[in-house]
Amino acid sequence: MARILELGLDTFGDVTSADDGSRQSQAQVIREVIEQGVLADQCGIDFIGLGEHHREDFAISSPEMVLASIASRTSHIHLGSAVTVLSSDDPVRVFQRYSTLNAASGGRAEIILGRGSFTESFPLFGYDLRDYEKLFEEKLDLFAAILRDDPVSWQGSVRAPLHHQRIFPSLEPGGLKTWIGVGGSPESVVRAAHYEFPLMLAIIGGDPARFKPYAELYVRACNQLEKAVPPVGVHSHGYVGQSDARARAEYWSDYKGMRDRIGAERGWPPFTTAEYEREIEHGSLYVGSPETVARKISKTAKLLGLSRFDMKYSAGTLSHSKIMSCIELYGRKVMPLVRDILA
């Protein structure tokens, strides 16, 4: 039986501008993200994910704290990370924080584990980037053992071993849904299949069809391992406006500013209007009217066999008022249209 497509939202708590153009404080952005989560719940959106970053331009360094605030004011929406940088954290503490969130929210917590596309957390917490791969592989193995075993016995080279150790708070029946975030590594796809974790594909540029081989590899790996195929999801940028022209105009300058700021750190050339139009028409920007965005999400969902689509709705200094309008259009108009199309 085909899975019903879940539709979610992601944000990194991008530091925004107020309607008068002044720069918001990180504290104010966090308060606004909580309001955005509350609105998403009211609009029937299935999931909200908060990314972990340790930079001046993103306000959220502790997603689970903000998610707990959202949990206290919501009833239905699932709450998770997008992503948790497991390589520079401790798997035991990550589990404890999210099992606590899961208890407080009545079983609505999820976690997306990844290596992260930014590296600020490594020197901040005393890790060597030369150990990038080993840190993630070993810590993911420990996290999987914590989810699987009670008590836990584990030994590796990146932290102290555990010997028949119980970890609290324990999970209630239903467990903790744990995804692996993948940006384009076949090894990571196979690793997710090995641990039977759902796969979240971060598609932030280019034709989504480029990722079809990864979705197919995941299914093939699960079959070869004789495991059931868990859900597959996609995380991509987007913005919903009242019309195609209005959405493109409202999103352009803030998205370009974010893209150029990060691109300057990574040696990318400035983002052009031609690239912007190409990404909207044929790539991984879901920008436009509710009808346009719904058609594009539906196409990607069918192409990749998705169970979840998460739209990263924040973009640099894009204002809170525009974000709130986008969330409402996404929940009240895009989601019903997508489900009608897929039905």
What whole-number distance in Å separates Cα of residue 18 and Cα of residue 25?
A: 10
Question: Would the pLDDT of 156 be above 60?
Answer: yes
CB of 74 within 8 A of CB of 37? yes
Question: What type of residue is 160?
Answer: A
Cβ within 8 Å of residue 142, ≥6 positions away: 91, 92, 152, 154, 156, 159, 162
Question: Would the pLDDT of 19 be above 90?
Answer: no
pLDDT on residue 184: 83
Nearest to 84 by CA among 211, 177, 184: 177
Distances (CA, A) of 296 to 151, 245, 304, 325: 46, 16, 12, 20
Q: Are strands 110-114 and 152-154 parallel, antiparallel or unpaired?
A: unpaired
Position 60 confidence tier, pLDDT thresholds 50, 70, 90:
very high
pLDDT on residue 2: 53
Q: What is the per-residue pLDDT across 323-337, written as a single tens digit (0 to 9) for each?
A: 999 999 999 999 999
Question: Would the pLDDT of 220 be above 80?
Answer: yes
What is the rounded average pLDDT for all residues in the chain?
A: 96
SS3 7: strand
Position 200 confidence tier, pLDDT thresholds 50, 70, 90:
very high
Position 1 confidence tier, pLDDT thresholds 50, 70, 90:
very low
Position 243 confidence tier, pLDDT thresholds 50, 70, 90:
very high
In the chain, what are the domains?
6-342 (3.20.20.30)
Partners of 193 in beta bridges: none
pLDDT on residue 116: 80
CB of 58 within 8 A of CB of 51? yes
What whole-number distance in Å separates Cα of residue 260 and Cα of residue 275?
A: 12
Q: Helix count (H) and strand count (E) of the chain?
A: 12, 12
Question: What type of residue is 88?
Answer: S
What whole-number distance in Å separates Cα of residue 6 and Cα of residue 339?
A: 9
pLDDT on residue 325: 98
Q: What is the DSSP string of 62-122?
A: -HHHHHHHHHTT-SS-EEEES-EEGGGS-HHHHHHHHHHHHHHTTS-BEEEEE--S--THH
Q: Side-chain half-sphere of 96: how many Cα atoms within 13 Å? A: 8
Question: Would the pLDDT of 4 be above 90?
Answer: no
Q: Give the count of beta carbons closer than 10 Å to the beta carbon of residue 301.
A: 22
Q: What is the per-residue pLDDT across 73-101, written as a single tens digit (0 to 9) for each?
A: 999 999 999 999 999 999 999 999 999 99
What whole-number distance in Å separates Cα of residue 329 and Cα of residue 292?
A: 12
Nearest to 142 by CA among 108, 109, 174, 96: 96
> From the CA atom positions of the chain, what is the Rg in Å?
19
Position 233 confidence tier, pLDDT thresholds 50, 70, 90:
very high
Question: Would the pLDDT of 203 be above 90?
Answer: yes
Question: Would the pLDDT of 127 be above 80?
Answer: yes
Q: What is the mean pLDDT of residues 280-287?
A: 98
Phi and psi, residue 271, nearest 5° = -75, 135
